[in-house]
Amino acid sequence: MPKTLRTPRQQRLQELLAEVRKARKLTQSDVAARLDRPQSFVAKYEGGERRLDVIEFVEVAEALETDPCALLASLLTGGSLPTSTLGRRSGRTRT
């Protein structure tokens, strides 16, 4: 399976992450600060210039205060995120 930035699932993941960020009223800079990364890191994964590995994905979900499992479920089913997912925190803390 070739790695690509242009698959429908990759593009949907980018959309989901941006959707959650915006629903939380966070800027890319806000998320980047939570991740201790530059703003360009967030811009690149949201814009499709960069893929996230699984650990980075979990860290981004935690920075967005959302459940990474709910994001993946939405990605796999092709559905939208449940409102409850956007309105609640994952309950996890960063270490």
Q: Within a domain: residue 51?
A: yes
How far is residue 92's CA from residue 36's CA, in Å, rounded to a whole number?
Answer: 17
Q: What is the mean pLDDT of residues 24-42?
A: 98
Residue 3 lies in a domain: no
Instruction: Check which CATH number belongs to the domain holding 27 and give it.
Output: 1.10.260.40
Give the pLDDT of residue 79.
Answer: 72
Q: Does position 10 have pLDDT exceeding 60, yes or no?
A: yes
Domain count, the chain: 1
- pTM score of the predicted model: 0.82
CA pair distance 24, 28, nearest whole angstrom: 11
Q: Is residue 28 part of a domain?
A: yes
Please report whether residue 52 resides in a domain: yes
C-alpha to C-alpha distances, 76 to 13, 22, 64, 93, nearest whole angstrom:
10, 21, 19, 25
CA 51 to chain centroid: 11
User: 41-65: per-residue pLDDT in tens?
Assistant: 999 999 999 999 999 999 999 999 9
Q: Which domain holds residue 14?
A: 8-76
Q: What percent of the chain has pLDDT over 70?
A: 82
Q: What is the mean pLDDT of the chain?
A: 87
Q: How many residues does the chain have?
A: 95
